[in-house]
Amino acid sequence: MSYRHRSNTGQELALPVGKVICVGRNYAEHALELNNPVPTEPILFIKPSTAVVDMRQPIGIPTEQGSCHVETEIALLIDTKLCRATERQAAEAIAGLGLGFDLTLRDVQNELKKNGLPWEMAKAFDGSCPLSGFLPVTRPEWDNIGLQLQLNGETQQYGNSIDMITPIVSLLVYISHHFTLLPGDVVLTGTPAGVCPLNIGDELIARVVDPVSELELAVETEIVSISDR
C-alpha cells in the first residue's frame, strides 16, 4: 500500500508526500551516548519520499547490513512553503504533530562516518522513515512536547522537546535558510537518548503528548524482516 499523510484518526490529508528533513544530535544526552560531540549548529540530512512508510503497518528492517537502530522522534508536518522563514512564519506552517522513526543502519553509518562519507546509505534507504498520523495543531507549546518509546513492554526512550539543543521553531527557521520546505514535507526533530538495535519480532509502542492541548497520539507496531513486508 502506498503511503499517504493521514490525520491521527486515519483520514487522508490533501498534502503530497515530500522530503523528510532530519536533524542529528539535537538532544545532548543522545549525542554523548554515541560518543559524538554536542554540535553548535544543527546537523541536517534528508530522507527522500521513498523512505516514508506507514508506522502502523509492520515495519520491515534490513537484516543483512548489521544493526538497525530505532530513533524515536517528534515529526512535524508542513503545509506552507518556507524559504528563509521568520519564527512566526515557521510556527504557522506546522500543520500536524506526529511521530517518526529515524531507522539507522548503525554499523553502516559508523563505517561512513569513519571515512568522512555522507550518511544516506545508512539513513535514507527504502522504509527508513515510518511515520504516524498527525494530530492537528491547535495551540501547542512547542517547548513542552513529550515523546516515549516502549520496546517489548519496557520504556526504552523518553524525552521532551524542552531538552532540544535547537528548539522546534528555531529549527524550522534554520532549515528554511538551507532547504526550502514545501507543503507535504516533514521535519524529524532529533532523538533523545536510548537508541537501540531492533530485532525481528520486537513490539513497539511510540507516544507523543502535547500537554497544553491535552492531545496524545500512540502507535503500536512490530518489527519484521524487510523481505516479509
Q: Does 191 bind Zn ion (CB under 5 A)?
A: yes
Complex with Zn ion: residue 166 or 191, whichever CB lies closer: 191
Q: Does 54 bind Zn ion (CB under 5 A)?
A: no
Q: How far is the CB of 193 from Zn ion (least distance, A)?
A: 12
The secondary structure of the chain as a DSSP string is -----BBTTSPBPS-----EEEEES-BHHHHHHTTPPPPSS-EEEEE-GGGEEETTSPEEE-SSSS-EEE-EEEEEEE-S-BSS--HHHHHHTEEEEEEEE--EEHHHHHHHHHTT--SHHHHSSTT-EEE--BEEPSS--GGG-EEEEEETTEEEEEEEGGGBSS-HHHHHHHHHTTS-B-TT-EEE----S--EE--TT-EEEEEEEETTTTEEEEEEEEEEEGGG-
Q: Does 128 bind Zn ion (CB under 5 A)?
A: no
Residue nearest to Zn ion (CB): 102
Q: Does 71 bind Zn ion (CB under 5 A)?
A: yes
Q: How far is the CB of 195 from Zn ion (least distance, A)?
A: 8
Q: How far is the CB of 114 from Zn ion (least distance, A)?
A: 19
Q: Does 202 bind Zn ion (CB under 5 A)?
A: no
Q: Does 161 bind Zn ion (CB under 5 A)?
A: no
Complex with Zn ion: residue 104 or 221, whichever CB lies closer: 104
The site for Zn ion (CB under 5 A) is made up of 71, 102, 191
